[in-house]
Structure 1
Amino acid sequence: MRSCGLLNSSNKPVPLRSGSVTVLIRGFVADVGCELLYKNEEPGPVEAVFVFPVDAEAAVYAFQARLGGACIQAQLREKKQAQELYGDALAGGQSSFLLQQEGAGGDVFSCSLGNLPPGEEAALTLRYVCELPLEPDGAARYMLPAVLRPRYTPHGWDGEDVTQGVPRVPQGELPYTLNLSVTLQSPHGIDRVLSNCSLTPLSYTAGNRTTAQVSLAEAPPWDRDVELLVYYTEPHKPSAVLEVGLPGAEPGSLMGDSAVMVDPAAQPA
């Protein structure tokens, strides 16, 4: 199993302190924004690398890092030029990062943050969109990626060790907090939301039940992923989703123009 999250040069996790995830689910597409706070508890600086596995149906469209008082936002560069700029910054003792796509299928993004001083925090913001699979019973399924919510193996646990190289902690004493809030939109109506974790009651924000909100009611158990099943009133009815281009993005670029995604009729995977 490949390690993921924020890692040091020895491929060991830099401790996660908190995670805040907001999800906008429109039909069978999810727009995910996450803010992750890590802290270097080593006695010296670490050259940290953020590794984020991306499904074939997902695309990262924004990334930024806040180190100390600096805020650095990702910009598109030719690969060789990006590597040279990163090396120059690192040699000069500056905090910098290099985000690149790995693997033949482009399913892993890695970001080299560079010099993270001892005791300092790194705040990472990541945004991506992904297609949600349709379950046989008509539900759209969203799964919170493990990199956004690491799973731990407490003392005395005899089950599968699903996360490698992380400290063992007693149940209920995870060293990080997690907030997950979800906004739902569907022109055909939202019926209900089920989860393997405790949720707040579904709150409709429109009288025709086309928009709603739900959140985690408490910290999820340490031994499972967070899964949401969204049931629509008419899951197999054709629909369309408008994705507005990013403000400030260059016209004609991947995220510079608006796009319409049409689903003639959602079918089970």
Structure 2
Amino acid sequence: MRRIGAMMRTDVPEAWACAPLEDVRVHVWIHDALSVVKVRHRYRNREDKPIEAVFTFPVPLDATVLGLEAEIGGARLQARVVEREDAEEAYERAIGQGDAAVLLEEVEPGIHAVNLGNLNPNEEAVLTIRYGIPNRWRDGRLRFVLPTVIAPRYGMPDHEPHHHPDVDPLASHSYALEVEIAGDAAEAEVSCPTHPVRIERGERSVRVRPCSERLTMDRDFVLVLRRQKTRAAGFYLRTPKGVLMMAAFAPQAREGSARATERERAARIKIVCDCSGSMAGDSIWQAKEALRCLLAELSPEDRFTIVRFGSRHEWLFPELRPSDGEALAQALAYLRRMDADMGGTELARALKAAFALDAGVPADVVLITDGEVWRHDRIVALARHSEHRVFVVGVGSAPVEGLLAR
């Protein structure tokens, strides 16, 4: 589990200590076209000298920060958006002058970092961050995800060392959560596949509260909303500079206008399955279930193979084989032997091997993984230049959206 407490930078660059995170409270507001999340972190410096606290936290990939406010030693700081270099220069200047300062920056897609400078001994810092997420309804269904975990990842990140999340398997942190659903979204059927919740329906809104007063930060919180019809929705906001507007449209196809058609050609599928150590537990079970379902959909004319990977990779077949009875029987036997026992996560090597197999012949790649690796941009670039269609199945309690959704 990730240590959520802030990392404290001392006079010695290599010396770090953990500033305890004393409380986290989250409020989620879900409307038709937009969700707004407000996260309140409360920290306290229990050292005997001033510190700089640096901590990282996950956000949805398409989130936009709407506001940042900090209360330090009775003073309230309101953030403003400036260019990265200007922000870093202003922050360092304030620190050098002994002033309290806050710097929020994106470490990589899906991960942000906050620097709290000059937190005095026994001083408390309360940080409130608001971000908005566009709601993406698909066939009357919305899946809302509140990420709470940055799990250990394989490899070395590209960002600064003090932004690298520390990991302590003995650390345990919790948070209080309340969700309010309003607008037409309040008419939807609501379910939570990750946590037991209480659902209270009012006249124009729905409130969702966990059955437990506190939730442990060991998995993402997921809500699923389903409704019969998806209507157009929008927001507008008056500002001194004019009116800002956001609109979402949901065109409805006429009944019977779309019909299923037979595939024009047999499928050629290379299945790449993560069997690294991070997949232990529920993740490898989910991966094997996904693979079993995929094999069941193959027709005799389709061709396929499977490569499982970790620190190394190995093939079921060294070429694409017709999915006849014999090949499927071998694949199911191979699946039963699969486990999370292959060490590290050399995802790029496995993908390169899959792309190189029968290169030049149109084929699809299905990747099954939890995505727990660094340097996502390089992997995404590799896939985009492969001349393959790549489909990703994310598994586990906190799959890395920064890789899987791109």
- Structure with bigger strand share is 1
Map of 1:217 onto structure 2: 211
The offset of 1:86, in angstroms, is 1.8
Q: Which consecutive residues of structure 1, in runs of 5 or more, have no partner in the other structure? A: 152-162
Q: Are 1:29 and 2:22 an aligned pair?
A: no
Q: Are 1:129 and 2:126 an aligned pair?
A: no
Higher relative CO (Cα under 8 Å, sequence separation at least 6) belongs to 1
Map of 2:55 onto structure 1: 50
Q: Give distance in 2, aligned partners of 1:20 and 1:131.
A: 22
CA change 1:98–1:68 in 2 (3 A) is: same
The offset of 1:97, in angstroms, is 1.5
Q: Give distance in 1, aligned partners of 2:167 and 2:106.
A: 24
Map of 2:167 onto structure 1: 165
TM-score normalized by structure 1? 0.72
CA change 1:243–1:194 in 2 (3 A) is: farther
Map of 2:201 onto structure 1: 204
The offset of 1:192, in angstroms, is 2.7
Q: C-alpha root-mean-square deviation of aligned residues, in Å?
A: 3.4
Matches within 5 A, 1:250-269: 251=241, 257-265=243-251
- Give a deviation string over 1:26-62, Cα, whole Å, max 9, x none: 1353111111111223343221123334433110110
Map of 1:155 onto structure 2: none
One-letter code aligned to 1:197: H
Report the number of matched residues. Answer: 235
The alignment partner of 2:197 has SS state of coil
One-letter code aligned to 1:131: P
One-letter code aligned to 1:89: A
The offset of 1:135, in angstroms, is 7.1
The offset of 1:216, in angstroms, is 1.6
CA change 1:143–1:65 in 2 (3 A) is: same
- Give a deviation string over 1:205-250, Cα, whole Å, max 9, x none: 22xxx5211112212356433222222343xx232131535xxx65
Q: Give distance in 1, aligned partners of 2:57 and 2:241.
A: 27
CA change 1:77–1:196 in 2 (3 A) is: closer
TM-score normalized by structure 2? 0.50
One-letter code aligned to 2:246: V
CA change 1:223–1:145 in 2 (3 A) is: closer
The alignment partner of 1:130 has SS state of strand
The offset of 1:199, in angstroms, is 1.4
The offset of 1:112, in angstroms, is 1.9
- Structure with bigger helix share is 2
The offset of 1:258, in angstroms, is 2.9
- Give a deviation string over 1:190-211, Cα, whole Å, max 9, x none: 22333421212x22222xxx52
Contact 1:190 1:212 in 2 (8 A): no
Q: Are 1:242 and 2:235 an aligned pair?
A: yes
One-letter code aligned to 2:123: E
The alignment partner of 2:36 has SS state of strand
Q: Which consecutive residues of structure 2, in runs of 5 or more, have no partner in the other structure? A: 10-14, 152-164, 253-404
CA change 1:241–1:166 in 2 (3 A) is: farther
Q: Give distance in 2, aligned partners of 1:73 and 1:143.
A: 27
CA change 1:62–1:107 in 2 (3 A) is: same
Query: Among residues 50, 53, 61, which one is paired with 2:66 in the alignment?
Result: 61
Q: Give distance in 1, aligned partners of 2:17 and 2:168.
A: 8
- The percent identity for this pair of structures is 27
CA change 1:265–1:184 in 2 (3 A) is: farther
Contact 2:175 2:217 in 1 (8 A): no
The offset of 1:13, in angstroms, is 4.8
Tell which structure's C-alpha radius of gyration is larger. Answer: 2
